[in-house]
Amino acid sequence: MENTGTPLVEMRDISIAFGGIKAVDHVSVDLYPGEVVGLLGHNGAGKSTLIKCLSGAYQADAGEIHVNGQKVEINNPRDARSHNIETIYQTLALADNLDAASNLFLGRELVTPTGFLDDAQMEAETRKIMHRLNPNFQKFADPVSALSGGQRQSVAIARAVYFNAKILIMDEPTAALGPQETKMVSELVQELKRQGLGIFLISHDIHDVMELCDRVSVMKNGQLVGTEKVSDVTDDEILGMIILGKKPERSAA
């Protein structure tokens, strides 16, 4: 796909240091509607730190963040949510003893006019959003501890989408999942793209990135090696970017 118009989000010249060590050093990335951008790199490359500046977990020392062309200040996760940015961490942050609806509305429960929890409405809304994202999901009454990894991802994604996420940060979404579960997450990502969301996908897995992403941004030692369209590069070229910090020959100019 060709990206035209205004990016959903631009991170421009972002830098952040911890104890004098530059974790992220003048890095710029962007993301368009209906696009998945993979962030790749070894542990310590800076990809998670960069994205935590977008999620509000960290504050950058320098640089700017623009959402829909407007410069924004993101000082905490609440600020990020106010700009329709949601993060799905590897741990998923679900309450294991609660069912899908209770997790979806955790901390944002619906109440009846008389002030009681509106369980029926929360379940109805959960069924509606799950049908949109994962029509095969049926385990509405079960605690999420009884769900498979892919089903748990569905619940976490449904929560973000229900509360109007436009920019989704996914941290290692297929880690520790089997082939069927990975396929389910892949289908979820494709559905989110169709609905016009933009996704930053943090991963160690090149195969994940080649299958799910439109572009890949590779980081090494806190710096951006480069951003490439996935259709233009091979696995080996991406490996070269990760390991050697070297751009593919044709784009080295």
| Domain chopping of the chain, boundaries | 1-84+166-253, 96-164
Question: Which segment, 9-23, 132-146, 162-176, is predicted with the most confidence on average?
Answer: 9-23
pLDDT at 250 over 70: no
pLDDT at 2 over 80: no
pLDDT at 3 over 80: no
CB atoms < 10 A from the CB of 11, how many?
A: 23
1-84+166-253 maps to CATH 3.60.9.10: no
> Quick check: helix, strand or coil at residue 43?
coil
Q: What's residue 253's pLDDT?
A: 43
pTM: 0.88
Per-residue pLDDT band at 252 (split at 50, 70, 90): very low
Q: Is the distance from CB of 16 to CB of 49 less than 8 angstroms?
A: yes
pLDDT at 231 over 90: yes
> Quick check: helix, strand or coil at residue 2?
coil
Q: What is the CA radius of gyration of the chain?
A: 19
Distance CA 202, CA 165 (A): 17
